Amino acid sequence: MKNLDSLNQEILSCRKCSRLVSFREDIPKRASYKDEPYLRKATPGYGDPNAELLILGLAPSAHGGNRTGRIFTGDESARFLMKMLHSVGFVNQPTSLSLDDGLKLRNCYITAAVKCVPPQNKPLKLECDNCFHYLQKEFHLLPNLKAVLALGQLAYKEFFHLMEIQGSPVKKTPFKHGSVTHLEKITLFSSYHPSPQNTYTGKLTEKMFLSLLNKIKKHLL
């Protein structure tokens, strides 16, 4: 795999998981998007190929990434995440609405552990395993990485698995918001996922997330 563009084309054409392919293609449109096309494909990562920060989410959402073709785009998780990333300078604008909205990432790259939307946001182990080699390739094609921000427990688990496969010495620690784990070449930061379930209930607040992003910024200086 020569570059991120060719990898992303491979991801877009992926149909390995029959359950996920069927689910992503059969999701009924929301009334608010009834006149818009749903791309309904596996969703590749995007951002700065020279990034020092990798932001790793769970999977595209049914009416966000699965609709627009870009993770954290056009949904409530995007509304929270991009506002926070913009406030500390990782993106050029506080909104992520569509593929052609002008969003540009600065010193960060965003991807998901699982590239297709799973039923109830719960991918099966086989589905995680099928996507894992994409994460491995992304990691190798981002040579300047110094930090990873794992959004949620599954992303956190998958990145530890990646480090184990890489042969890096790993001392696993339980997932919790705000934890910082120094690995051989990468520092892993963790956060609750910026889903409406977490942000609307106050489990994850703007103050909590901004504090973590500022720690990451300081680490990258």
Q: pLDDT tens across 8-25, in order?
A: 999 999 999 999 999 999
Q: What distance in Å separates the CA atoms of residue 72 and residue 218, rounded to the nearest whole number?
A: 24
Q: Which residue has the tokens 């990562």?
A: 45
Q: What distance in Å separates the CA atoms of residue 138 and residue 191, rounded to the nearest whole number?
A: 21
The domain 4-220 having CATH identifier 3.40.470.10: the answer here is yes
pLDDT tens by residue, 101-134:
999 999 999 999 999 999 999 999 999 999 999 9
Two tokens, residue 216? 């990451």
Give pTM, 2 decimals: 0.96
User: Three-state SS for 188?
Assistant: strand
pLDDT of residue 99: 95
Each domain of the chain, given as residue ranges in start order, spans 4-220
Identify whether the C-beta of residue 72 lies closer than 8 Å to the C-beta of residue 45.
Answer: no
Q: Which burial class, exposed, middle or buried, applies to 54 when counting CB atoms under 10 A from its CB (0-12, 13-18, 19+)?
A: buried
